[in-house]
C-alpha cells in the first residue's frame, strides 16, 4: 500500500499531539489525537512493510476505503483525471450562468478602465429574450439539480429590466422543471434598494457581493462617482437598509495606499446592522492587467481582480493572511479553504453571457473576442470554447502537487495575463500552501472539540517546496 499524493499533514500549533490529515482530492479532514495512532508512523510502517499494531491495522482499512491509502498499483493521476472529468468538466448537478446586463459602471474607481467604455454594451430587450430562451434550452438538455444565476457587470443595477425579466421567467421555468434556482449579484451597492431586493427575493435572489476598499476615508478616495465624490456612506447605508434580507459577501481590494484601513473596515463591518448577514469577507491585492490584454478588451473589464467570484492570488500573500487573521479575530467569517479552482471555466455547463449575447467560459474574458466560446444563436460552444474545455490546464510538475484538485493549473485569466497563453499553468503555490496551512490549523481547533480519531506518509508543510 501507499499513501495518496493528495494527503497533507499538519501538526496543531495550539493543540500539541493533534495531527490533521487533509486529502485535497476527497476533501477528507481527519484529526488524529490518539498517542498510539500517529499517521506519520503509520505511513512510514506501511511504506517499509513493517508490522502494524491492531489499532493501526483497523485505521489502515478505513483509510483505504477513504482513498487516503491506495494499493501500490493504483495510478492516482488517472483517478484524479477521472474525477476531474466526471465531477468537474462534465458535471450536470449544477449549471451556473453569469450574466452581464451591461458593461457600463456608475463609478470611476481609480484602478478600473471601464471608464473609457462606459456607454458601450447594454443588453437589449431582444437579447434578453434570446438569453432566457438559450438558458431554458440548456436547462432542458442538462436537467441540473441547481441553476445558479449570477449578475455581474459593469454595474448590473444600472440596467435592471433584463435582471427582473430573466429572474422571473427562469424562476417559473425552473419551478416547472423541478430545478432549484439560486441567484446572486456582484454589485457596487450604490443602487441597491430594499424594494428591488423584495421584488427579486421570491425569484431565488439570495446574496450580493459588495466591495469596500477600506474604511470611509480610504474607500472614498478609491471608489468614487465620476465627479470624484466618495461612495462609502451610500453603500454602507444601503446595506443597512437591506439587513436581514440577503446574504452578503464582502470583498475589498488593497494596495499600499489603503492596506492599513482594511483593518478598521473589518471592525466597522462587525459593528454594522448587517454583520449577521455577512457570509464571507475576503480581501485581495489590486491586480494589474497587462496592457496587451487591456487594449484587446471590448466593452471594459476590471483591474481590481480578474473575477469577483473567485479567490486567488500569490501576490502579497502575507498581507492577505494578516487581514484574514484580523477578520477571524473580529468575528467575521472568511473563506474556508484557499481554492483557486477548478472554477467555472472548467465546467461545460457553466458560462458567462455578455450583453450582446456572446458566451465566454470565464467572466473575466468578456470583451476579449478571441476568447469567445460561442453565442446565444448557437446551442453548442464554438471551436474555441471546446478547445478551452478540453485542453489540459496543468503540467507535469502539477501532477506531483498536493494542490492539484484545489487548483487544476490555476486561474486561466491569470495565465493569459502572465503568459499570453491559456495553455500554460498559472501557479499560485505559495498562496495555496499558506492558506491551506491556516485552514488546517482552524480545522484542528474545530475538530478537537468533537474529536474523531484516526490516521497516514506524506510530506508535512515544512517539507513542501516554496
Ligand atoms: S499550478 Fe502550481 S499550485 Fe497549481 S497544481 Fe500546478 S504546481 Fe500546484
Ligand atoms: S479562470 Fe480565473 S478569473 Fe476566470 S473564473 Fe476561473 S479563477 Fe475566475
pTM comes to 0.90
Closest-lying ligand to the alpha carbon of 431? 1
Q: Are strands 28-32 and 247-254 parallel, antiparallel or unpaired?
A: unpaired
Q: Tell me, using a 6 A CB cutoff, whether residue 310 lines ligand 2.
A: yes
Closest-lying ligand to the alpha carbon of 6? 1
Class at the top of the CATH hierarchy for domain 89-389: alpha beta
Q: Which of 409, 437, 461 to mutate to test the pocket of ligand 1 (most atoms within 8 A of CB)?
A: 409
From the CA of 409, give the closest atom in ligand 1. Answer: 1
Domain ranges within the chain, ordered by starting residue:
1-74+433-466, 89-389
In the prediction, which pLDDT does 285 show?
86
Q: Tell me, using a 6 A CB cutoff, whether residue 397 lines ligand 1.
A: yes
What distance in Å separates the CA atoms of residue 339 and residue 444, rounded to the nearest whole number?
19
In the prediction, which pLDDT does 291 show?
55
In the prediction, which pLDDT does 18 show?
95
In the prediction, which pLDDT does 294 show?
58
In the prediction, which pLDDT does 336 show?
85
In the prediction, which pLDDT does 139 show?
98
What distance in Å separates the CA atoms of residue 222 and residue 395, rounded to the nearest whole number?
39
Residues 193-240 pLDDT 10s: 999 999 999 999 999 999 999 999 999 999 998 888 999 999 999 999
In the prediction, which pLDDT does 453 show?
44
**CA angle, corner 42, sides to 36 and 43, nearest 5?**
160
In the prediction, which pLDDT does 414 show?
86
State the distance from the centre of ligand 1 to the C-alpha of 379, rounded, in angstroms: 33
Which portions of the chain are predicted below pLDDT 50? 113, 115-119, 299-304, 309, 311, 451-466
What distance in Å separates the CA atoms of residue 85 and residue 70, rounded to the nearest whole number?
21
Q: Tell me, using a 6 A CB cutoff, whether residue 404 lines ligand 1.
A: yes
Contact 19, 457 (CB under 8 A): no
In the prediction, which pLDDT does 173 show?
98
In the prediction, which pLDDT does 226 show?
87
Amino acid at each position: 500500500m501507499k499513501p495518496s499524493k493528495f494527503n497533507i499533514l499538519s501538526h496543531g500549533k495550539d493543540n500539541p499531539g493533534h495531527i490533521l490529515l487533509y486529502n485535497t482530492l476527497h476533501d477528507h479532514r481527519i484529526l488524529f489525537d490518539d498517542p498510539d495512532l500517529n499517521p506519520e508512523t503509520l505511513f512510514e510502517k506501511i511504506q517499509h512493510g513493517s508490522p502494524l499494531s491492531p489499532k493501526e491495522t483497523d485505521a489502515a482499512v478505513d483509510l483505504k476505503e477513504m482513498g487516503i491509502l491506495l494499493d501500490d498499483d493504483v495510478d492516482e493521476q488517472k483517478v484524479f483525471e477521472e474525477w476531474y472529468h466526471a465531477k468537474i468538466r462534465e458535471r450536470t448537478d449544477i449549471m451556473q450562468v453569469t450574466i452581464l446586463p451591461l458593461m457600463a459602471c456608475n463609478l470611476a474607481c481609480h484602478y478600473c478602465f471601464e471608464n473609457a467604455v462606459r456607454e458601450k454594451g447594454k443588453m437589449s430587450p431582444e437579447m434578453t429574450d434570446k438569453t432566457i430562451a438559450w438558458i431554458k434550452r440548456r436547462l432542458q438538455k442538462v436537467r441540473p439539480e441547481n441553476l445558479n444565476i449570477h449578475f455581474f457587470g459593469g454595474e448590473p443595477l444600472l440596467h435592471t429590466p433584463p435582471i427582473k425579466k430573466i429572474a422571473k421567467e427562469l424562476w417559473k421555468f425552473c419551478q416547472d422543471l423541478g430545478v432549484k434556482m439560486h441567484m446572486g449579484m456582484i454589485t457596487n451597492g450604490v443602487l441597491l434598494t430594499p424594494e428591488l431586493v423584495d421584488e427579486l427575493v421570491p425569484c431565488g435572489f439570495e446574496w450580493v457581493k459588495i466591495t469596500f476598499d477600506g474604511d470611509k476615508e480610504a474607500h472614498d478616495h478609491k471608489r468614487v462617482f465620476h465627479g470624484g465624490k466618495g461612495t462609502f456612506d451610500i453603500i454602507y447605508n444601503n446595506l443597512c437598509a437591506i439587513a436581514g434580507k440577503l446574504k452578503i459577501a464582502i470583498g475589498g481590494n488593497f494596495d499600499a495606499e489603503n492596506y492599513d484601513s482594511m483593518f478598521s473596515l473589518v471592525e466597522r463591518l462587525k459593528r454594522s446592522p448587517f454583520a449577521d448577514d455577512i457570509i464571507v469577507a475576503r480581501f485581495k491585492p489590486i491586480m494589474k492587467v497587462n496592457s496587451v490584454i487591456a487594449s484587446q478588451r471590448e466593452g471594459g473589464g476590471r483591474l481590481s481582480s480578474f473575477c469577483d467570484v473567485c479567490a486567488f492570488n500569490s501576490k502579497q500573500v502575507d498581507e492577505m493572511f494578516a487581514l484574514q487573521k484580523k477578520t477571524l479575530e473580529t468575528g467575521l467569517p472568511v473563506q474556508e479553504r484557499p481554492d483557486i479552482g477548478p472554477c467555472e471555466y472548467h465546467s461545460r455547463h457553466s458560462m458567462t453571457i455578455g450583453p450582446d449575447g456572446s458566451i465566454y467560459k470565464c467572466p473575466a474574458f468578456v470583451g476579449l473576442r478571441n476568447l469567445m466560446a460561442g453565442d446565444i444563436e448557437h446551442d453548442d460552444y464554438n471551436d474555441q470554447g471546446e478547445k478551452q474545455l478540453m485542453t489540459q490546464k496543468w503540467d507535469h510538475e502539477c501532477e506531483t502537487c498536493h494542490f492539484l484538485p484545489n487548483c487544476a493549473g490555476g486561474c486561466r485569466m491569470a495565465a493569459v495575463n502572465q503568459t499570453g497563453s491559456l495553455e500554460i499553468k498559472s501557479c499560485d503555490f505559495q498562496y495555496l500552501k499558506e492558506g491551506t496551512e491556516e485552514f488546517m490549523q482552524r480545522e484542528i481547533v474545530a475538530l478537537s472539540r468533537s474529536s474523531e480519531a484516526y490516521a497516514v506518509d506524506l510530506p508535512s508543510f515544512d517539507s513542501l517546496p516554496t
